[in-house]
Chains A and B, each alone.
Chain A
Amino acid sequence: MHKLKIGPANSFFGFIAAGLIIFIVSSKFDDLLVYQGASVMMFVIAISSIILLTGYSGQISLGHGAFLGVGGYAAALARNNLNLPIIVCVIIGVLAAAIAGALIGLSAARLSGPYLAGSTLALAVGLPSIVNQFDSLGGEQGLFFDVGAPPAFLGEGFSPYRWFFYAATMAMLISVWGIRNLLNSRYGRTWRAVRGNDVAAQLSGINIARSRILAFTVSAGIAGLAGVILAMTLGTVSPGAYPLVLSFSLATGAVLSGVNTLGGVIIGAVTLVAIPEIADSISHRFGGSEVMTTNLPGILVSTLLILTVLFVPNGPVEQMRLTRNKKRAHAQR
């Protein structure tokens, strides 16, 4: 199988180019579209973290929303109590989520498939209720998370939503670039080796447990970054912002993108943001009631998920590659 190899330097410029294109295109967007753009970026980061975990390291998490929550809360606590600059808060959020991920990863390394899925599910259900235990976490209302006004050099009266969008895009570009390089590095190869055949990997000197824990830690850290960005766009952190449905959406997004193709990640992210809009317009057209409006998004997402698992289980990008390879093999014969 031949694959065009792009060196790290080229891909770096590629990402800068992508950033410029997003910057230019988004200048035409209004506030609502820019806000949705920020959500897309948040989902891209979060789904990449699942792709790293599931597609490359072979572990599954149904509770990644919990790590988003840890990241968001840590950043908000640092911001509110210590009044640190926003970039430091982001780093604290990422580190906190990574530490939480390492703790869970310690036990996750010993589990597989359904056991890991159920444990992470239990985590996502259990963790939010902790906020009621500590007053400093603000209970069900949560905490404010004020990132402050847009920096002065962007000019007076610069829309805060546009500023969120730029920040989220920046975070997305940096993290996806980082993940891409990480997956092409020694670590990425180690993870794939463990996923492919753990006995063979062990025989070639890979410490399986360490490799799995590392993957879980990195993945949780990236999820934490997504959590901080979600908190930024919402202006608050609360248990309601990181519900079980969010965890499920992330897993769904990863499957829609194809769990082992980082390139497809935008498909899942855009779908997750677009579905509520589509559902809204459908239920409007049919003069839908409130019941229809609340339930249609869930039905659409689930149906899409089921269809994907049935017909393109490895994701659209991978499927296209397979079909192309098949055609090529056919032509050569």
Chain B
Amino acid sequence: MKEILLNKSGKKIILLGNEAVCRGAIEAGVDFVSTYPGTPASEIGNTFWQIKEDFKKINPKFHFEFSTNEKVAMEAAAGAAISGFKSLVAMKNFGLNVASDFLCTLMYSGIEGSMVIFVADDPSCWSSAQSEQNTRFYSLMAHIPTLEPSEPQEFKDFTKFAFNLSAQFKIPVMIRSTTRASHQSGPVTLGEIPNSKFQIPKFVKDPKKFSTMPPRVLEMKKELFEKIEKIKKQFEKSNLNKIIYGNSREKLGILTSGVSFLYVMEALKKLNLKLPVLKLGFIYPLPERKILNFLKKLKSVLIVEELEPYLEREIAILAKKENLKIKIFGKGEKIEGGRIWKERKAILPQIGELKPEYVEIAISKILNKKPSFNYQLHLKKFEKLKIPARPPILCPGCPYWAVVNAIKKVVDLQKVIFGGEIGCYMLFSHKVINLQDYLYCMGSSTSIAHGISKTSKQKVITFIGDSSFFHAGIPALINTVFNQSNPLIIILENQTTAMTGHQPHPGVGDGRVVKVEEIVRACGIKNVKVIDQVKNPEEFEKGLKEFLEKDEASVIIARHICALLEKKKKT
């Protein structure tokens, strides 16, 4: 891992896309990094966590933290940036939902130093429950300049570029990634790590700058729009938007970005075709002139992107505006007269990640050409196989097994409803455990339980991990007291953020430890027990029975360290 701090310009090292973002930030001279762990973005935090002391020797101003949640992380990074520092904040797609309240406001004021926001989506939900959220639509809503790198080298280069752009226009810049881009490893050629300036910037008071009170807020919006217009002009000329096979006379072109670009080039190689390709490095604001000039030479264009059509819609609107007669292939949406509806044939899926062969098949269909391999026949053969699914399950020795066993022993599983939450315990959905009747987002298990118990009067047991509790569980807990409902909340305290790679949280941090039971009591909960469910299973069972009878909300803190972490600490 220390290799990432090598100051050897020109040397090649192996990095994951996410690690390359860290290197890009290091080469840009980053001062402040904050995050809340979430896969597929976790490596940003993990990397800085491991190197922070060494990096401080290069940049003494440097600070890294795991913040309590993504909103807090973004606000902290903004605090650094409005004081003139260079900050990076990283999160997964759902984290941006949590932080969006702040993001949409921050864009109005802009920042003083520079600020880069890294967000990773997870097509196919490889490392996510919840949803297959497409974060790109936030770029439109918040008006945040957004870049999409394709491979590790670009992750580094784009990050460095993003810091410069942010400093130039005093605006936060987003880098948006997807699982296959972020968890792609490859050689990266290093650049130079700058000598840190010992000058320490300061927050400068200016009532016009960072206070979004009306009527000033509407002026700020105007200033934001002006910045975006200027950035757009710059993007038109930028070589981060590339045209490949620009001299091709083919009448079908391809427009793409991110990891999809790599699939496009793979498909063209396999088909031995040289179709013109426009690879967008920026997905907001779009370089409209560049796109139009590209489209003008074509009769049809295939838009290759993962998840819901973002580029496709924007391009369709642009083509309509310019009265361009061009056929658009992609997710099969047709836009006319401001309305969107499905055309009969979608050529690429909106659900699930793309694969190189999907793009090859799409191109073949449009050109009425045979693909390089009989994918259809092969797929039929493959789909006939009976392959038992092997979903993830709690690790052997996981302390949560003791919770599961106790519940199965003393709780009426038919009568009680079980509320799930984001963390290892969402594996309670596994068919051999089967203790999860609903699952949404972080912090939701208890608030939903409140709604159920206030209306249907059914008893609900909810689970929430310690890290999730600090992240978003506390307001929900207070609500059960304030508005009087009676769920039994089991806080699974394994003393880490286990699922994303054992990051610390406020209950176990290096600094002053925040005790879960103290918070629970301070929230007004009267029925509180702290039990080690592994060492004292009988006490845990007794606690369950007792608290299930209560007419008010009650909390059991099941405190036993994660088995993997315990093993790690011993070795």
A and B bind: no
